[in-house]
Amino acid sequence: MIVTTSELFRHAYGKYALGAYNINNLEQTVGLFRGNLGKVKSNDDPTNPAVSAPFIIQISRGARSYSDKRFLEAMIRTAEAVFPDAIFAVHLDHGTEETCYDAIDSGFYSSVMIDASHEPFEKNIEITRRVVDRAHAKGVVVEAELGQLGGVEEDVQGSVCLTDPGQAAEFIEKTGCDSLAVAIGTSHGAYKFTGTQGLRMDRLAEIQKAVPKNFPLVMHGSSSVPKEWVDRINAAGGKIKNASGVPEEQYLPAAKLGICKINIDTDGRLVWCATLREVFRDKPEDFDLRTSGKVFMANYAEYIAHKNKMLGSAGMLESVRALLTGRK
Ligand code: G3H
Ligand code: 13P
Ligand code: ZN
């Protein structure tokens, strides 16, 4: 069942966060659905309500152009039929104004992100407002962004990059956006922190206090970059040095401060990279792409199930279903 992110956030607010996972291909899609339903080994495993989670599928502009955006839509629609128990939102990740309109008009996406965070404050408001008007007319919800995530070279602790709480309140009021991505010290990719940097929970608490009650906040750049997977990549010939991510133990404290959506892309790429390197290393005579594909789908499903436990979304699927179908 495809729902909007807002419907999922209402259930999660202040208690847990939804995992928002990027997909680019079939194996990621199948692994993602299986992981969210606790079907780690195969599509035919029974759904496990104790670990099943509602979730958000994210599609970036890069993913849309990797093959053709129509493949992604067809895969997700097929996954919905193969896994009828799943409850999820389909979300455009880091959209431009033009991509947002394309996603809204497609009738497939239930949520879009307009990322005009690089623009001056007033221009960001102007662009976001236009997207919100067009999205809401079609029942699509909008995530916007204020503040800028850091790169590894930047001083992400500097107040210039972090979201300003007062501006956040004004931005929400003037744009009518449904959720807001905030910059609180994270960055995209596998090299998030150097030295003593970390998540700015103090800033997040100030933002939560400044914005309307129960307004959903979003955290990008939230992969944990697990040492286990980085070590496995390196042991199988990779060269990933000094990688670091957001400690998973910080997901729930962030959720208690209003973070409802936690974006994870890099971790999935690490699982992919380790799996393929290991299979090629251990079976040098095998050239069947399905060998590594099968191992990846199981590894990814297991990883997603683990991630959902850390986010607090594991085991929430049936109460979300009850809420959405009016049974509670
Ligand atoms: O926020 C960026 C996401 O990780 C998507 O990455 O543009 O390489 O698909 P991508
Ligand atoms: P990571 O690079 O930490 O996985 O962040 C992904 C993200 O924010 C997608 O929008
Ligand atoms: Zn992002």
Using one digit for the tens of pLDDT, what is the confidence trace for 31-89?
999 999 999 889 999 999 999 999 999 999 999 999 999 999 999 999 999 999 999 99
Ligand 2 pocket check for 54: Cβ under 6 Å: no
Strand ranges (DSSP E) for 157-310? Answer: 179-182, 217-219, 259-264
pLDDT band at residue 328 using 50, 70 and 90 as cut-offs: low
Contact 171, 124 (CB under 8 A): yes
- Opening angle at CA 157, ends 165 and 181, nearest 5: 45
Looking at residue 151, what is its pLDDT? 57
Looking at residue 155, what is its pLDDT? 42
Structure tokens at 268: 């999935």
User: Atom 4 of ligand 1 has which residue's CA nearest to it?
Assistant: 265
Looking at residue 158, what is its pLDDT? 45
Q: Distance, CA 273 to ligand 2 centroid (Å)? A: 16
Please give the residue that has the higher pLDDT: either 311 or 198.
311
All residues at 6 or more sequence positions from 251 whose CB lies less than 8 Å from its CB, including other chains: 17, 222, 259, 262, 310, 311, 312
Model pLDDT for residues 93-134, shown as the tens digit of each residue = 999 999 999 999 999 999 999 999 999 999 999 999 999 999
Render 105-139 in DSSP notation, one character per residue. Answer: HHT--SEEEE--TTS-HHHHHHHHHHHHHHHHTTT
Model pLDDT for residues 238-270, shown as the tens digit of each residue = 999 999 999 999 999 999 999 999 999 999 999
Please give the residue that has the higher pLDDT: either 170 or 148.
170
Report, at the CATH architecture level, how domain 5-324 is classified: Alpha-Beta Barrel (3.20)
Contact 24, 33 (CB under 8 A): no
What are phi and psi for residue 10, nearest 5 degrees?
-60, -40
Residues at Cβ < 5 Å from ligand 3 ion: 220
pLDDT band at residue 315 using 50, 70 and 90 as cut-offs: very high
pLDDT band at residue 327 using 50, 70 and 90 as cut-offs: confident
* 93 is known as an active-site residue: yes
Indicate which residue of 44, 45, 85, 93 is catalytic: 93
Rounded to an integer, the average pLDDT of 165-191 is 97
Binding-site residues, ligand 1, Cβ < 6 A: 22, 60, 62-63, 93-94, 188, 265
Model pLDDT for residues 161-177, shown as the tens digit of each residue = 899 999 999 999 999 99
Model pLDDT for residues 205-240, shown as the tens digit of each residue = 999 999 999 999 999 999 999 999 999 999 999 999
Indicate which ligand has the atom closest to the C-alpha of 145.
3
User: Atom 7 of ligand 1 has which residue's CA nearest to it?
Assistant: 62
